Structure 1
Amino acid sequence: MKQVKIAMIGAGSFVFSMSLLYDMIVESQLPGSKLVLMDVNLASAERMAKIARIMAAESGVSMSIEATSDLTAALKDADYVTTSVAAGLIKRYDTDREIILKYGIKEPVSECGGVGGLSYTLRSVQLVMDIVREMERVCPNAWLLNVSNPLPRVMTAVARHSSIRGLGFCSVAQGGVDGYLNVSSWLHRHAEELDVVSAGLNHFSWLLSVRDRSTGEDLLAEANEAVRRGAWEWQPRTPGWLEQYGSVPLAGDSHTGEYLPFPDEIKVSEHGGYHGSDEERVERLRRLEEAANGRYPWQEMLENRSWERPGLVIHALATNTSLKQNMLNIPNRGYIRNLPDEIIVEVPANITNGKVEGCVVGDLPEPVRQLCEQVSRVHECSVRAAVTGDMDLVDEAIDIDPAITQKAAAKEAIRELIRVNADVLPLFKH
């Protein structure tokens, strides 16, 4: 195997970094590789590098592991780049929600849709595109494997406005680390017994097919009926969407609800964002520090691990081996026949002989297609706004977003949000 260099940008990520290190070092074992952990907080990068060295030593894997806060040094001659980055995620996310509520706007989790999703987009696209521009300069042939949100909009920016090959990872539609755990639970089966296909957009992916892996028996109607009967009881809005659109949205109530008008009968507090409480984050940081110094088993830090597995994709690409992914976010190239080509879609994909190819899933049900096409237009428009700093495009994104019903209030709110985030939005005039 060719020796490879992997740059982890945002190596101090709350959950993702431990999962990625485990996949690359313990599970995939890429001997002789160079792993560079980069974070603007050098102490965070060094802490994770110490844990990575312990993992490698205990697994018998010879790998060069470095830490840095220098983006260019991390990216120089990299073959693979992972990004799990945000500009002050928790603080700015909370500020967004406070301002949105001040204008009387109701929204659930605001990562990919609504006013909060638009504010998040402007920040994240700027941040990731700064990384991508440096990739174009110092490692133009590298793959970008991104988990940064809002995922479909970040990946749209990479695909539309750079020359870098990008893959987007989010496994919320699976419901777990390995396999479609929600679907299997509805059918009282093990995930490995089922062939499940979902497709659509990230946080807006829909259940298209369920079959028994051994017999080929079609189980989609049974799965849908289980949802109607309340098998997914902690997602009370989903059965209504099944009846309305003819398919189950696998991201559940809060994420699916990012793209649709917020019901009056639901309290905003019931659907707030969650990235760990302050207490949980402090405790996790303490345990990471202990693990880095060999006083706490790093294996314990994999509890509630990230469901995304880009490390496995890196291994498949680097070793020219085959891998099936239940979902990747990539440009549509006929994979969903009744959605426009080149928009970012979430579809199953195969990695074979160093290439990534989406699987053709056919057509989405017509009501779902209409929704996905409208939401993808919002993605595209919000990204154009983010890369140009054009307020007319910001307003257009609000006008066409089906999740935003209070258009005038939203336009006032986004202007305040841009002002309070001015330090990370240099393209916008203030």
Structure 2
Amino acid sequence: MKVQPTKIVCVGAGSYSFGLTTLVSLLRSPILNGSQLILVDKNEAHLAIMVELISWLNDVWDAGMHIDAYTHHRQALKDANFVINAIEVGPREGLWESDFRIPLKFGVRQPYAENSGPGGFAHAARNITPIMEIARDMENLCPDAWLINFTNPMARICAAIHRHTRIKVVGLCHQLSAGYAMVGKALANDLNIMVPDFFTSTHASPRYAASMFFTYFQAVEKVKIIAAGVNHFTWMLNLTDRKANADLYPLFRERWQALPENFEPLTRRVFDAFGLFPIPGDEHLCEYLPWVSDPVTKPWEKYELELYEWSDHEQSREDQWSSLAQAARDKANPEEFVPNYSEGAQEVIESFLTDGHLLWEALNIPNQGQITNLPLDAIIELPGTIAADGITGAQIGELPEGIAELLRREITISHLTVDAVLYGDRKLALQALLLDSVIRDMDIAQKILDEYLIAYREQLPTFWE
């Protein structure tokens, strides 16, 4: 289907996690043929590599896109129809490790430190300021554009944009794939799914990633999951056979219990306690729970929770850029290095343009009553339909009250974090930490906050104005 060419701006086009995958999927779309594709990244070296690669692929695939590039988003935004955001205040791994180690000096041991806990506060605070600059410039230069967000912490970033600007925002995340992979492992014999022996965890490590995604790609063709909650903290409400539409949840419960007990042990305990299966896998799930950071019982050892492999991922990032630079020079066979899947921006944009009424299974959007016992306007994650007139989230109704209470606390912390950063309000920042389940002492919370604000003074200017 041919549509009027559109203007797409990718801010953070040099993103390690989302940049190349997103840009390649846009180029491969016949619907977007002839559109404007503007790449933005403040890292001039990475931007130059990406521009050379994308321009070459544009020619090789005859995508007909008009490609340009800038080092500042303001140069690119005028009259944009879609803005894809994948920026990250860096250095990502170094700052993430610092987010973990600063509280550790005061005896606070976080289970992961990316999206919740004190580390989630610091991570969100650093990214909110530059992303709000993008959103506010959009209000002036392309007020009707959609902002498609990939940056974490997803719910907090989307909440900042929704609560404090007029920009329409939707967040996309692929963590539902972990849920599909775990379902695929449990139902492997029933659904004829091949599961590698080394698929032993959903943790974000190169040791597990290939086997997890291999299982996911098979499972998603055979089963359908309906999950809802907040990003990285969603719960499987329904599980059905895609062809027969048969309810597979009872069989899954039975098969899950038969899996080895050391496979996602925290997920297992939470599933038993709350009656619904948590989607994200142990390492993301652990961030939002009150029972995994006790310094005496050390439950992270019992559940074998792994920290992010900061040095390994930093090296992987450097290796990727070396490989991409080499590919750009050699004009190698694209199929040897470009990803063959999409992060979702392509499909979402296509459905907006074609009025496609696409059902997407994990959208981060404001709650307009779809989940009745979560706050209105809070950013929730759930399935939704994308059409020319916007996004309509699926009607979920009430979540079990115990689960809803866990989610409500995370939403409250999210809103306190956003408002604290935007207003430079240290009392709200302290409240955000005090509500977090990792914190057990008011004085310690204050010390962590003070040290974060000093360590990240350059990235957190609102607290020093």
Shared fold (TM-score greater than 0.5)? yes
Q: Aligned-pair distance for 1:314?
A: 1.1
What is aligned with 1:266?
Answer: 300
Q: Which runs of 4+ in 1 moved over 6 A?
A: none
Supply the distance in 2 between the matched residues of 1:246 and 1:123 (Cα, whole angstroms).
36
Three-state SS of the structure 1 residue aligned to 2:419 is helix
Q: Contact 2:359/2:385 (CA < 8 Å) preserved in 1?
A: yes
What is aligned with 1:204?
Answer: 233
Three-state SS of the structure 2 residue aligned to 1:237 is helix
Supply the distance in 1 between the matched residues of 2:227 and 2:307 (Cα, whole angstroms).
26
Q: Aligned-pair distance for 1:214?
A: 2.8
RMSD: 2.1
Letter matched to residue 147 of structure 1: F
What is aligned with 1:129?
Answer: 132
Give 1:365's match in structure 2, choosing from 394, 400, 406: 400
Q: Aligned-pair distance for 1:64?
A: 0.6
Letter matched to residue 50 of structure 1: E
Alignment TM-score, normalising by the size of structure 2: 0.87
Unaligned runs of 5+ in 2: 192-218
Three-state SS of the structure 1 residue aligned to 2:237 is strand
Q: Contact 1:7/1:78 (CA < 8 Å) preserved in 2?
A: yes
Supply the distance in 1 between the matched residues of 2:377 and 2:169 (Cα, whole angstroms).
13
Supply the distance in 2 between the matched residues of 1:306 and 1:129 (Cα, whole angstroms).
29
What is aligned with 1:153?
Answer: 156
Q: Does 1:322 align with 2:357?
A: yes
Supply the distance in 1 between the matched residues of 2:136 and 2:172 (Cα, whole angstroms).
20
What is aligned with 1:184?
Answer: 184
Q: Contact 1:168/1:329 (CA < 8 Å) preserved in 2?
A: yes
Change (3 A) 1:4 1:231: farther
What is aligned with 1:224?
Answer: 253
Three-state SS of the structure 1 residue aligned to 2:226 is strand
Q: Aligned-pair distance for 1:427?
A: 0.6
Change (3 A) 1:70 1:278: closer
What is aligned with 1:108?
Answer: 111
Cα deviation code 1:137-195 (max 9, x no counterpart): 1111111000001110000101100000000011212228xxx3332332223422222
What is aligned with 2:167?
Answer: 164
For structure 1, which segment, 53-62 or 80-89, has the greater mean C-alpha deviation from structure 2 after superposition? Answer: 53-62
Three-state SS of the structure 1 residue aligned to 2:49 is helix
Q: Does 1:117 align with 2:146?
A: no
Q: Contact 2:236/2:277 (CA < 8 Å) preserved in 1?
A: yes
Q: Contact 2:235/2:278 (CA < 8 Å) preserved in 1?
A: yes
Supply the distance in 2 between the matched residues of 1:84 and 1:250 (Cα, whole angstroms).
23
Q: Aligned-pair distance for 1:4?
A: 1.0
Supply the distance in 1 between the matched residues of 2:130 and 2:254 (Cα, whole angstroms).
43
Q: Aligned-pair distance for 1:132?
A: 0.8
Letter matched to residue 227 of structure 1: W
Q: Contact 2:111/2:300 (CA < 8 Å) preserved in 1?
A: no
Three-state SS of the structure 1 residue aligned to 2:430 is helix
Cα deviation code 1:81-109 (max 9, x no counterpart): 01111111222212222212111111122
Give 2:45's match in structure 1, choosing from 26, 36, 43: 43
Q: Aligned-pair distance for 1:405?
A: 3.2
Cα deviation code 1:333-355 (max 9, x no counterpart): 12112212111000001112342
Supply the distance in 1 between the matched residues of 2:249 and 2:423 (Cα, whole angstroms).
44
Q: Contact 1:97/1:116 (CA < 8 Å) preserved in 2?
A: yes
Cα deviation code 1:209-253 (max 9, x no counterpart): 011223332111222333333368531111100112111111111
What is aligned with 1:387?
Answer: 422
Q: Contact 2:370/2:395 (CA < 8 Å) preserved in 1?
A: yes
Three-state SS of the structure 2 residue aligned to 1:87 is coil
What is aligned with 2:410?
Answer: 375
Supply the distance in 2 between the matched residues of 1:155 and 1:274 (Cα, whole angstroms).
26
Change (3 A) 1:228 1:250: same
Which structure 2 residues correspond to residues 10-89 of structure 1 after superposition, within 5 A?
10-27=12-29, 29-88=31-90, 89=92
Letter matched to residue 46 of structure 1: A
Q: Aligned-pair distance for 1:113?
A: 0.8
Supply the distance in 1 between the matched residues of 2:275 and 2:416 (Cα, whole angstroms).
28
Give 2:443's match in structure 1, choosing from 403, 408, 430: 408
Q: Contact 1:336/1:363 (CA < 8 Å) preserved in 2?
A: yes
Three-state SS of the structure 1 residue aligned to 2:51 is helix
Q: Contact 2:155/2:231 (CA < 8 Å) preserved in 1?
A: yes
Q: Aligned-pair distance for 1:280?
A: 1.7
Q: Contact 2:178/2:281 (CA < 8 Å) preserved in 1?
A: no
- The alignment of Structure 1 onto Structure 2 pairs a total of residues equal to 426
Q: Contact 2:41/2:71 (CA < 8 Å) preserved in 1?
A: yes
Letter matched to residue 413 of structure 1: I
What is aligned with 1:422?
Answer: 457
Unaligned runs of 5+ in 1: none
What is aligned with 1:139?
Answer: 142
What is aligned with 2:380?
Answer: 345
Q: Contact 2:353/2:388 (CA < 8 Å) preserved in 1?
A: no
For structure 1, which segment, 398-407 or 211-220, has the greater mean C-alpha deviation from structure 2 after superposition? Answer: 398-407
Supply the distance in 2 between the matched residues of 1:232 and 1:83 (Cα, whole angstroms).
39
Supply the distance in 2 between the matched residues of 1:224 and 1:405 (Cα, whole angstroms).
35
Q: Does 1:311 align with 2:313?
A: no
Q: Aligned-pair distance for 1:406?
A: 4.2
Q: Aligned-pair distance for 1:410?
A: 2.7
Q: Contact 1:142/1:164 (CA < 8 Å) preserved in 2?
A: yes
Supply the distance in 1 between the matched residues of 2:383 and 2:282 (Cα, whole angstroms).
22
For structure 1, which segment, 260-269 or 16-25, has the greater mean C-alpha deviation from structure 2 after superposition? Answer: 260-269
Cα deviation code 1:352-384 (max 9, x no counterpart): 234211111222122111111111111111111
Letter matched to residue 429 of structure 1: W
What is aligned with 1:96?
Answer: 99
Supply the distance in 1 between the matched residues of 2:446 and 2:251 (Cα, whole angstroms).
44
Q: Contact 2:25/2:341 (CA < 8 Å) preserved in 1?
A: no
Q: Contact 1:28/1:312 (CA < 8 Å) preserved in 2?
A: no
